[in-house]
Amino acid sequence: MRVRLHHEGRNILAVSFLILLAINLFVWLVLRAAPAVPITVTVLSAIIFLLIVNFFRSPKRNFTGDRKNVVVASADGTVVALEEVFEDEYLHKNVIQLSIFMTILNVHANWFPVDGEVIYTAHHSGRFLSAYLPKSSTENERSTVVIRANNGQEILMRQVAGAIARRIVTYAQPGVEASIEDHMGFIKFGSRIDLYLPLGTEILVKIGDKTTGGITPVARLQSNDDKC
């Protein structure tokens, strides 16, 4: 089966391949009399390269469920936070925070959680604490994207860097159409995604649940009829 790679990883994969190739050529030339060492280095190099390939894989996903009012997971990973908080960057009100933690083994492309329109984006410098910690949402390097869903409700999505992740890429810009099936960004090497949803949203997952970006429904927004 052909592996589809994300364009964010092409340069890293090329450089990694050349570095590992140079190391292996050197080891085989210098230590060819003791083949156990070069063989070990080659095996370890192959494992390292395959891990990098695995990290940058970019599967094509199509959401086939009912799209009306649905909120879909923006990332592969594990639900690590689900609580009412006060969001003070843009929404300035109490909301439900739903956070998904990604390990280095997960796909790190990020999908839009709802269909709608991007109305706000901002990047914030910060620390590189473990993304599993709650305070990483406000203290770490992060990028914020607000989407006005098709039913008029505003959803805030935050990409959070972690102890290993050192680069957040955000494609979303104000005025861009958001679609559940499209990538809104990418985070390199371990991180988390926070979703801030209106109070009254029906939550479809619990802490510890595994999610698949662009596929797993995690919540359902109140319809306009429900709010009447």
The catalytic residues are 191
Strands 191-198 and 210-211: unpaired
Helices 10-30 and 36-55: crossing angle, nearest 10°?
A: 180
Whole-angstrom Cα distance, residue 115 to residue 161? Answer: 25
Contact at 8 Å (CB) between 182 and 112?
yes
Structure tokens at 10: 């092409």
- Give 106-162 as a DSSP string: S--EEE-SSSEEEEEEEEE--B---TTSTTHHHHBSEEEEEEEETTS-EEEEEEEE-
Give the three-class secondary structure for 194. strand
Which tokens sit at 9? 């990883």
Strand, coil or helix: 207: coil
Give DSSP secondary structure letters for 64-118.
-S--TTEEE-SSSEEEEEEEEEEETTTT-EEEEEEEEEE-TTS--EEE-SSSEEE
C-beta of residue 120 within 8 angstroms of C-beta of residue 87:
no
